[in-house]
Structure 1
Amino acid sequence: MDGRWEYVLLLLGCLAVTAPLELRGDGVYRRPAALARAILPVVLLFTAWDVVAIARRHWDYNPAFVTGIRLPGALPVEELLFFVVVPLCAVLTYEAVLALRPKGIRLDGAVPDLAARRG
């Protein structure tokens, strides 16, 4: 396999593994505005960070492992996709865990029924 597609395939794998969580969770894809509010700050911050780092020659991406499609600022398209895919997978996972947690389990880890019984 051509190494320049490995990054894209890894991102597609991340999406494939977490896609079923949409069915178990709270409908992340059905709330695009909320999803954008969760992902957009990450995309903007880390895209800017990478563009500056590339411009200052702190790092670059090996052409053997990216498709060669570069965005303004010499950012590989795969890197922008990474900044979208990883937070998306995290939100899907988080929402699925919330939807599947047993009733009575609070987010702070306390179990109200057991705490009351200890008296």
Structure 2
Amino acid sequence: MDHWQYLMVLGACLLITAPLELFGDGVYRQARRAAFAILPVAAVFVVWDVLAIAAGVWTYNPHYISMIKLPGKIPLEEVLFFLVIPLCGLLTYNAVDTILGYLHKRRARSERSS
């Protein structure tokens, strides 16, 4: 079971933030926009990791990863990390922005009617 810990944490992050899609315009409903925000940065970090692995700067504990390796010997979980965590961040940002915008409008209406 330990070999799946990294994937389980990423899955939990997605599961916990999934309801945030219901707030505002949504992130999944704007997949192209989300991809433009996430993919360029993920690509830079994947290249960085591949270079660091090739240079022996760092490794991943085989006890906690699935051992599915992608080209460049980068673990699948590490690539998914660079996609999942920013996606969860976008979901959180979108929800907070929507809620704060709603509260701001509500307060402004309340002040006008007083």
Instruction: Give the TM-score band, short-chain normalised.
Output: 0.7 to 0.9
Alignment of 1:48-67 (within 5 A): 48-67=47-66
Alpha-carbon offset, residue 26 of structure 1: 2.1
- The residue number in structure 1 matching 2:111 is none
Alignment of 1:5-20 (within 5 A): 5-20=4-19
- The residue number in structure 2 matching 1:45 is 44
Alpha-carbon offset, residue 103 of structure 1: 2.1
AA matched with 1:9:
M
Q: CA RMSD in A?
A: 1.8
Aligned equivalents of 2:5 and 2:60: distance in 1?
13
Alpha-carbon offset, residue 100 of structure 1: 0.5
Structure 2: gaps (5+ residues): 109-114
Alpha-carbon offset, residue 62 of structure 1: 1.1
Alpha-carbon offset, residue 42 of structure 1: 1.8
TM-score normalised according to structure 1 size: 0.84
Higher helix share: 2
- The residue number in structure 2 matching 1:116 is none
TM-score normalised according to structure 2 size: 0.88
Alpha-carbon offset, residue 82 of structure 1: 0.3
Contact map agreement 1:39 1:88 (CA 8 A) in 2:
yes
Contact map agreement 1:15 1:89 (CA 8 A) in 2:
yes
